[in-house]
Amino acid sequence: MGAGLELCSRFYDDVVRQAIDLPHSAALLGRGSEVLGYDDEMSTDHNCEARALVFVPEGVELHLQVPQTFEGRTALVEVHTIRRYFLDQLTFDPDAELTIRDWLTFPESILLQMTTGGVFHDELGLQAVRDRLVYYPDDVWRYLMITAWWRVHPEMNLVGRSGYVGDELGSAVIGSQLVWNLMRLCFLLERQYAPYSKWFGTAFSRLSCGPSIGPLLRTVLQTSSWQEREEALGAAYRAVGELHNRLGITEPVELGVEHLVGRPFKVVWGDFIGALWDGIRDPEVRQVAERWPVGGLDEIRNLLWKARDRRQAVDSL
């Protein structure tokens, strides 16, 4: 437990809990570096209050009087119902069944915020709702890995193709995009939600594969020629592919080196997409995966922040 979360837990135990005489739940969820466990000395310069989210039964109003500060920090209590809170954060009704549309439109960084942090007290079933969101269902997870591999495969040879005509800047940009996409694959392979950009690299370093794959990806970013970049990307791709095989997500996928359309650019490649597709059983997920472009939904989740907008986009597919 990080220092910020410990502070908020003490605030609840010492102050908030003493002021409530009805069944409730309490937690630290949502925004904030301390929710994710990444708070440090700099984090205290803004929005790092001693705070607690208190959840009360439907139809109950709760007006709490708490001190303005606690252990030198501004004190803050938010009062919600569980249903309204998750509707506001995810447009997810905890009383309803989770659907494929829900999973494909939930912002991943918000799912992380809803499932990390800490629950201090729970009489209303808050943890049970969090448990339902802990990670993607198996077929949705496989579909998202397919979309992630599709963002890698078509781009791998372009690092060489752009560099071949003297565009080292363009080659480097493509290389950096491929690094991000390979990192994204690692989160998926290890079944971990990825945070937003500020903490993306920090969270990656804490994956079990971070210490071994991270240096390979840094090498890609540090290269000065497309030939070196191509070689470094091949090593990184191979490492991510071998991670897939070690985890036993599908039958082992053979890795090889391809020269697309006879050109001289080397691309390490394995049919991870085909192997993952064979494992999808849910007909609704298969129907989505059959539509082109594969991966469009993931891009939509990044571009449209309001969940209702994303839902409309999914309905149009």
| Cβ–Cβ < 8 Å for 146, 290 | no
The 10s digit of each residue's pLDDT in 166-206 is: 999 999 999 999 999 999 999 999 999 999 888 899 999 99
What is residue 226's predicted lDDT score, i.e. its pLDDT? 94
Residue 44 has pLDDT above 70, yes or no: no
* Count, residues in the chain: 317
| Cβ–Cβ < 8 Å for 22, 60 | yes
Helix (H, G, I), strand (E, B) or coil at 51: strand
What is residue 82's predicted lDDT score, i.e. its pLDDT? 97
What is residue 200's predicted lDDT score, i.e. its pLDDT? 94
Local confidence band at 101 (pLDDT 50, 70, 90 cut-offs): confident
Local confidence band at 296 (pLDDT 50, 70, 90 cut-offs): very low
- What value does the mean pLDDT of the chain take? 89
Query: What is the distance between the alpha carbons of residues 203 and 209, in angstroms, rounded to a whole number?
Result: 11
What are the backbone angles phi and psi of residue 258, rounded to the nearest 5°? -115, 150
| Cβ–Cβ < 8 Å for 32, 2 | no
By percentage, how much of the chain surpasses pLDDT 90? Answer: 64
What is residue 248's predicted lDDT score, i.e. its pLDDT? 95
Query: What is the distance between the alpha carbons of residues 188 and 143, in angstroms, rounded to a whole number?
Result: 10
pTM of the model: 0.89
What is residue 293's predicted lDDT score, i.e. its pLDDT? 44
Q: What is the mean pLDDT of residues 136-145?
A: 94
Residue 314 has pLDDT above 70, yes or no: no
| Cβ–Cβ < 8 Å for 253, 241 | yes
The more confidently predicted of residues 297 and 261 is 261
Closest CA to 130 of 53, 46, 217: 53
CA 94 to chain centre: 21
